[in-house]
Amino acid sequence: MIKTPQKIMLTYNTVFQATRPKFLLLAPICVGLGAAYAGAKGFEVDNTILALCVIISLLSHASVNLLNEYQDAKSGLDNTTTKTPFSGGSGALQKNPSALNAVFWSGIVCCVAFSVLGVWLASMLNWQLVLFGLIGLVVIVSYTPWLNKTSWLCLISPGTGFGLLFVIGTYAVFAESITPTDVAIALPVFFLVNNLLLLNQFPDVTADRDNGRNHFVIRYGYSKSAIIYIVSACLAFLAIALLVHYRTLPFWSLSALLFFPVALAIGFKAMKFEQAALQTFLPLMGLNVMVTLLTPSVLALSLIIA
């Protein structure tokens, strides 16, 4: 069967929307933080290699989003979620179900592409970099079918991907070795990205539970999840203060602490979350995205100008 140009364009648009393009910005920001830290420590940051790192991060992020959209559409989960700008899936496959296979294979292609590029990069620089890619593959493949059924692993998997793999992985590309202090540079991202997903799961609890998931909010409820959010926010910004104190980060990195009161306010208001008042919760979700994006951006900028 020959598809019309209109049908092809509709499929392309569905695949693009299923990558959740609004959220892809976080990947290059985390790569930028890792590269800025490497440059601040005196390592040469090659722009071509940096661009390759950005491409790998975008492909891996798009892959997990596409496969998640495919699996949630196939299971029927995204037919029951309440769509918000921050949760419930993109809705692309609900508008165009015929693109289901295209979304699946696009996710596979992105996964294969980032794997090939990662191996190529490792072959040029350091084969130990393959370890970061393998961890990334495990997260991508297991996130929707398995990690979402294990509350604590689901909680920390986003921070592991963006903190350990993108920030430290990028630093490892340019650095000769990695110390525990270097790993600590990823802690703010680790805690903030965990919080990003945690809060975005609040509106989907009923639909997720009915589809067999058992993430943190389902298992422990809104109040305890909000407490974890507050604790994680405190740990993220405490890590920044300590990294500045021990001169791992420059003084200007303290400007990122301006987002700390915002994160605390989000956490305390989340303790009063009610599904019936979801519309009043949306601004908090937007602020949460802002904190998650701007904090590592400020850290990267402070490293560049220091």
Residue 206 to residue 218: CA distance in whole angstroms: 8
Could you report the per-residue pLDDT of 37-63, keeping only the tens digit for each?
Answer: 999 999 999 999 999 999 999 999 999
**Amino acid (1-letter code) at residue 15:** V
Q: Would you state the pLDDT for residue 63? A: 97
How many Cβ atoms sit within 10 Å of the Cβ of residue 38? 22
Q: Show the tokens assigned to 294.
A: 């701007």
Whole-model pTM? Answer: 0.94
How many Cβ atoms sit within 10 Å of the Cβ of residue 279? 8
Per the CB < 8 A criterion, the answer to whether 214 and 151 are in contact is yes
Q: Would you state the pLDDT for residue 3? A: 66
Print pLDDT tens along the chain (306 aa): 446 888 889 999 999 999 999 899 999 999 999 999 999 999 999 999 999 999 999 999 999 999 999 999 998 888 888 888 888 788 899 999 999 999 999 999 999 999 999 999 999 998 989 999 999 999 998 988 899 899 999 999 999 999 999 999 999 999 978 999 999 999 999 999 999 999 999 999 989 998 889 999 999 999 999 999 999 999 999 999 999 999 999 999 999 999 999 999 999 999 999 887 888 999 999 999 999 999 999 999 999 998
Q: Would you state the pLDDT for residue 77? A: 87
Per the CB < 8 A criterion, the answer to whether 196 and 288 are in contact is yes
